[in-house]
Amino acid sequence: MLSLSMERKQKTILIADDDKDIVDSITAILDHSGYEVLNVMDGTSVMQAVKALPDLILLDIQMPGHDGPTVCRQLKRQASTKDIPVIIVSASMDVQQKAEQAGADDYLEKPFDIDVLQQKVFNLLNKRN
């Protein structure tokens, strides 16, 4: 039987968050889990970064340029990016509602538990197959 790591190619995750500490933390967690991680610090840069066609996107709600929900709606409208899972990340009290309104696939409340982050990422990446 093949191991999980041999069965899948390395998945790429794009993180869009203006908080460098959050980006560094999530990058370290996901990198340690075996994912390739790309990151941008503002909403405007996401549309350029998605040309690399990441397997999943983590979007902060509040960023300079375009906010996360606006970017998510744009991604879900474009044929080339509509099937990329998006997780909206925020400390906002109504993050679930904002994520649903934006068409995100899931949401993550800050501060988040590392295990919850890893499980949500794993579930969405494996749901696609």
Q: What is the mean pLDDT of residues 98-104?
A: 97
**For the chain, which domains are there?**
9-121 (3.40.50.2300)
Q: What is the pLDDT of residues 66-90, one digit of tens each?
A: 999 999 999 999 999 999 999 999 9
pLDDT (0 to 100) of residue 9: 74
Structure tokens at 45: 């840069």
CA angle 94, 103, 45 (to 5 degrees): 90
For residue 18, name the pLDDT band (cuts at 50, 70, 90).
very high
pLDDT (mean) for 12-18: 97
Give 92's DSSP letter.
Answer: -
Alpha helices in the chain (DSSP H): 4-7, 20-32, 43-49, 68-77, 95-102, 114-127
Is pLDDT above 70 for 1? no
